[in-house]
A and B are shown apart, each in its own frame.
Chain A
Amino acid sequence: QKEVEQDPGPLSVPEGAIVSLNCTYSNSAFQYFMWYRQYSRKGPELLMYTYSSGNKEDGRFTAQVDKSSKYISLFIRDSQPSDSATYLCAMSAGVNTGNQFYFGTGTSLTVIP
């Protein structure tokens, strides 16, 4: 079983739609959860960084962490064509366990104008 599971998609939505991206994980030691956006042929760009459970909002983006279910989500409101990219979730157990990041496979999102 992979440490992190993420549906690769592809996911296509009309402009203005609410997008929900999700990852599940198996390691209960994970405490730090990240979402990255990666455009084609570019390096990943950090979108959201969350510690432990709860919600975090930044503009049109909301990250949710449910540690009891080992499930994290990224919501994109009022999606725009410029949001078309691959979204990677990543998580870490922290510096005491080597601080290694574990990535999902990424979900490819296309927002259609």
Chain B
Amino acid sequence: GAVVSQHPSWVICKSGTSVKIECRSLDFQATTMFWYRQFPKQSLMLMATSNEGSKATYEQGVEKDKFLINHASLTLSTLTVTSAHPEDSSFYICSARPMAGVNTEAFFGQGTRLTVV
């Protein structure tokens, strides 16, 4: 299957600092990438949908000024958690859907575990 690389796989940061997470589709182009958040023993919660070259669409309740998403190219989307606080500690996962095909499956990155201390 297609490969989606997410970096870093884990990060610890101090409260008040910002953290950037990268999501790259390695062997395909992705018009759309998705950012999810997952709490322990819970399912994936969609945070936002990122379209190349345009502003991200955020789900209700997700602060767009706190979770900045940039989709600069067809293979890269970034999520920046600004002014991180301990409650932002979570597992963040991106997914990307290949451009080829109309309704295709999504492939996930390996996730980033963020711990804010």
Contacts and interface: CB of A to CB of B under 8 A. Distances in A.
A32 B103 contact: yes
Given A36-B108, A105-B43, A43 B102 contact: no
B108 A100 contact: no
B111 A43 contact: yes
Q: How large is the interface on B (under 10, 10 to 19, 20 to 34, 35 or more residues)?
A: 20 to 34
Interface in A12-61: 31-32, 34, 36, 41-46, 49, 51
A82 interface: no
Interface residues of A, number: 27
Interface in B71-117: 91, 93, 95, 97, 102-103, 105-111, 113
Given A88-B44, A100-B46, A106-B43, A43 B6 contact: yes
Contact of B49 (A41, A42, A51, A100): A100
B61 interface: no
Contacts of A32: 103, 105
Interface in B46-81: 46, 49
A84 B17 CA distance: 37
